[in-house]
């Protein structure tokens, strides 16, 4: 059975197109995460939940060697079409151990807007700690708990699983709400040290594309993004 946490078939096709142009993905989350990555020239990077290869393209352009993993065949087809042979892409259920990777075999890892979809997050974090070399870095982005609180209501401290309809489409995505202390607590308990935390804002060029979205994203947070290091 295909992993429940991945985007399959028509949802995968929708996400592949949407992630390339969305104010949230293309103009807010991805620029912030790439800024957190810094200089990746010569680094071997694991793209965890690589989707349609949008991060792989950017990391390759900056000189990284990229291995992308995702549980969706649909999205990996898009990634290979976008990137070609310049990166290695693997079909892998992120709820399972990263048994394809040796200890200390990566310089860095990117986990963009995937963490909150997963059930076995603690296991994944332990695996990332294992496959990163000492001093290696991990970037994680997730939905902002304040944004989830505003949208779904109830208690800010709720950690329930929710369904979010994707506006303008017949699809929805399922993820777990997490207050800030839960999100950071899981990362730190896995042995990582926090270097930076940012609340991504849209890049200025979004204003020329969609001024309403730019104004909205400047006023209310949508995501959290962190850079951690493996001691």
pLDDT digits (tens, 9 = 90+) for 27-44: 999 999 999 999 999 999
Average pLDDT rounded to a whole number, residues 72-82: 96
pTM, entire model = 0.95
Average pLDDT rounded to a whole number, residues 49-55: 97
Q: Which residues pair with 44 in a beta bridge?
A: 65
Identify the CATH assignment for 9-229 out of 1.10.10.60, 3.30.420.40, 3.30.530.20, 3.40.50.150.
3.40.50.150
Residue 75 has pLDDT above 80, yes or no: yes
For the record, the structure tokens of 22 come out as 């969305």
Q: What share of the chain is helix, strand, coil (3-state, %, to 5)?
A: 40, 25, 35
Phi, psi for 120 (deg, rounded to 5): -95, 60
Looking at residue 3, what is its pLDDT?
59
Burial (CB < 10 A; 0-12, 13-18, 19+), residue 105, is middle
For the record, the structure tokens of 51 come out as 């989707």
- Does residue 58 sit in helix, strand or coil? helix
Q: Count of CB atoms within 10 A of residue 154's CB?
A: 11
For the record, the structure tokens of 231 come out as 């001691």
Looking at residue 24, what is its pLDDT?
95
Residue 2 has pLDDT above 70, yes or no: no
Q: Give residue-wise pLDDT tens across range 6-15.
A: 788 898 888 8
Looking at residue 8, what is its pLDDT?
82
Cα–Cα distance, 4 to 191 (Å, whole number): 27
Closest CA to 48 of 113, 102, 2: 113
Cβ atoms of 117 and 142 within 8 Å: the answer is: no
More confident residue, 17 or 63: 63
Residue 18 has pLDDT above 80, yes or no: yes
């Amino acid at each position: 059975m295909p992993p429940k946490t991945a985007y399959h078939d028509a949802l995968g096709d929708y996400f592949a197109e949407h992630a390339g142009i969305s104010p949230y993905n293309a103009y807010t989350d991805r620029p912030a995460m790439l800024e957190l990555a810094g200089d990746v020239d010569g680094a071997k990077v694991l793209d965890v939940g690589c989707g349609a290869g949008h991060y792989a393209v950017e990391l390759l352009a900056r000189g990284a060697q990229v291995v992308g993993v995702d549980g969706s065949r649909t999205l990996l087809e898009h990634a290979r079409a976008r990137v070609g042979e310049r990166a290695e892409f693997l079909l892998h259920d992120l709820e399972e151990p990263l048994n394809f990777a040796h200890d200390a075999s990566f310089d860095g890892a990117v986990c963009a807007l995937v963490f909150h979809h997963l059930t076995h997050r603690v296991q994944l974090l332990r695996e990332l700690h294992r496959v990163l070399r000492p001093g290696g870095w991990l970037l994680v982005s997730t939905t902002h708990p304040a944004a989830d609180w505003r949208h779904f209501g109830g208690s800010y401290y709720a950690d329930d699983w929710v369904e979010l309809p994707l506006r303008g489409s017949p699809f929805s995505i399922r993820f777990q709400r997490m207050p800030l202390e839960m999100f950071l607590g899981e990362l730190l308990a896995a042995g990582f040290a926090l270097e930076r935390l940012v609340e991504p804002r849209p890049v200025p060029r979004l204003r020329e594309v969609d001024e309403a979205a730019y104004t909205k994203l400047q006023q209310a947070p949508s995501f959290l993004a962190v850079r951690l290091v493996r001691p």
